[in-house]
Amino acid sequence: MISIRAKRYDGNTSKREEVWLDWAEPGFVNLRGENLNKRYALSEIQLAPPLANLPRELHFADGSLCEVEPSPAIDTLFAPAGSRLLHRWENNLRYAFVALLLTGAVVWLVMEYGIPALSKQVAFALPVSTEEQLGEDTLSGLDRFIFMPSKLSAAKKQQLSKIFQQMLSEPESHYRLEFRASPRIGANALALPSGIVIMTDELVALAKHDEEIIAVLAHELGHVQYRHTLRQVLQNSISGLLIATLTGDILSTSSFAAALPTVLVQTHFARQFETEADDVAVLYLRAHKISTAHFANILLRLTESHHAHEKNVTDYLSTHPSTNDRIQRLRN
């Protein structure tokens, strides 16, 4: 018979008493003390995970608890194989290091491939009504913090809006072009999740030809077509939630929604997103006999404009990285 000394708490009071745990027959434990004699099946007892060299805790089905000193006998009698393996890993630096590497690799794979794939599925599965509401809310947030009313003439707005409508494959589409001024971000164009494309006065002033405006609009429509903005916001949010979960710093989902306007203008699009949007623009330009040099020229001018606004929070270049590579690609 195996006997182990323990300290028992009845689960109702703070009183502690010295007891013995006796293993007299397979599958059962006898608990005996000064005024105590109980018999439990092993299935009625749960061994808590080990914590450093602190006493082990045995939780009984009736709510009582026993503390025992760590020993191989306790692990053998109570702990499942998985728990014993985990304990060995936790107490072996080599195993712990391997576990850390494996965890890091899994997290990297999830963030590099899993989250983008999931974000794409979610973005294309969202109802149009939800996307439209998100777009309107985002535009309202941008108007509060980033944009000012446009100073373009009514005639200029009408001209550019006509160009935009002619570019749409479906004229009755809910897509629309908005004009805003923003010294803070300078020459810029943004595509909101709902198909709202925003063009700043500064970008209009920077363009020397309508074909350059068309190239930028075609690029932004590429972002809309592939739902890049929504996918990027989803990726950032899911990644943030994953990191918060791993670190224990959970933020409310409302904070992500409230930060969407700022994320939108500060986020760097993935290289894949930029390439896809550029390809859409190039296909449109070629289909309408417009030289891609116009796209390269406006990108070059935007790069120069960026240097004049480099102290600002964000600009067209920050949301459209690798501009030099893109210009070279267009010219080739």
Tokens 């930028």 label which residue?
216
Burial track 102-126 (b if 16+ CB lie within 10 A, e otherwise): eeeeeeeebeeeebbeebbeebeee
Same domain, 17 and 149: no
Residue 110 covered by a domain: no
Same domain, 175 and 266: yes
Same domain, 64 and 202: no
Same domain, 180 and 290: yes
pLDDT given for residue 266 in this prediction:
46
Residue 101 covered by a domain: no
For residue range 65-90, list pLDDT tens digits in order: 999 998 877 777 775 544 555 556 66
pLDDT given for residue 120 in this prediction:
92
Q: Are 304 and 266 in contact (CB under 8 A)?
A: no
Residue 114 covered by a domain: no
* Residue where a domain terminates, one of 82, 110, 138: 82
Residue 251 DSSP symbol:
P
Same domain, 196 and 264: yes
Same domain, 318 and 217: yes
Domain of residue 215 covers 128-331
- Phi then psi for residue 314, to 5 deg, are -160, 170
Q: Are 47 and 74 in contact (CB under 8 A)?
A: yes
pTM of the model: 0.65
pLDDT given for residue 147 in this prediction:
96
Residue 186 DSSP symbol:
-
Q: Within the chain, which residues score under 70 in pLDDT?
A: 79-92, 171-172, 244, 246-269, 306-322
Same domain, 144 and 249: yes
Q: 18 vs 14, 68, 255, CA distance in Å?
A: 13, 11, 52
Same domain, 290 and 176: yes
